[in-house]
Copies of this chain bind each other. A is one copy, B any other.
């Protein structure tokens, strides 16, 4: 059980707002049928917005100001990040012995026409399974991930994602999960199994030794963040 650090609520609101706006833009670029002239004009305006943002940037070893790696708050996670235009974003919360998230996914995640890209199930479920491990106080990095696709997952349709710890063995945690329609939650469309391993101390140092927070301070991840992030509203 960890206590989440305080953050600047004004900055959080602004990062969330920009994440929402750029996420909408990503989907608009995929759905639009306007002509080449309008597309090119839109590209020029998007580049102007980028230029303004890039006047001040962080590097790869510096965590975002809003992140809290100990409490697993990662605002730019490509799955759960409120500031990530790639993420749906999934809002993962505890539910019974595991975790759950609901989402309706747009055309930007398409694989076969009308259906979710098979690899997107891998991206989203890796996070769900990792979060289930964290919810059981067993953080680890993904060592093995296995997905069985039983039926195609439709876009623009409410979905439910679940994960729960199946087995604990020293530094190893086995987690199971599923993707289903919200309207038919017992018919599993994608069944998932993952093995998460908590790195040894020397691996932690090798992997994350250079990471600093936004103030340049070294932040040894006591329980390092991975991509896992339970929703701030949860009690993880």
Give the interface segment out of A95-103, A141-149, A168-176, A181-189. Answer: A141-149
A34: chain B residues at CB < 8 Å are: 52-53, 55-56
Cβ A21 vs Cβ B33 within 8 A? no
A32 located at the interface, meaning its Cβ lies under 8 Å from any Cβ of chain B in the complex: yes
In the complex, the chain B residue whose C-beta lies closest to that of A124 is B119
A178 located at the interface, meaning its Cβ lies under 8 Å from any Cβ of chain B in the complex: no
A74–B21 Cα distance when bound, in Å, is 25
A144: chain B residues at CB < 8 Å are: 146-149
Cβ B21 vs Cβ A50 within 8 A? yes
Count chain A residues whose beta carbon lies closer than 8 angstroms to a beta carbon of B. Answer: 103
**In-complex Cβ contact of A211 among B24, B48, B64, B113 (8 A):** B113
Of residues 152 through 188 on chain A, the ones whose CB sits less than 8 Å from some CB of chain B are: 152, 155-156
A52: chain B residues at CB < 8 Å are: 34, 38, 41-42
Cβ A107 vs Cβ B31 within 8 A? no
A145–B24 Cα distance when bound, in Å, is 30
A74–B108 Cα distance when bound, in Å, is 11
Known: A49-B42, A119-B124, A123-B119. A148 touches B156 (CB 8 A): no
In the complex, the chain B residue whose C-beta lies closest to that of A55 is B34
**In-complex Cβ contact of A61 among B19, B48, B79, B114 (8 A):** B114
A17: chain B residues at CB < 8 Å are: 39-40, 43
A47–B180 Cα distance when bound, in Å, is 32
Taken residue by residue from 36 to 70, chain A's Cβ proximity to chain B (1 for < 8 Å, 0 otherwise) reads as: 11111111111111101111111011011100010
> Distance (Å) between the CB of A72 and the closest chain B CB?
11
Q: Which of A64, A78, A221 has the most CB of B within 10 A?
A: A78
> Distance (Å) between the CB of A62 and the closest chain B CB?
9
Q: Which of A36, A37, A221 has the most CB of B within 10 A?
A: A36
Which 8 residue pairs spanning A and B have beta carbons closest together? A122-B122, A119-B126, A111-B227, A119-B123, A14-B36, A118-B142, A14-B39, A21-B43
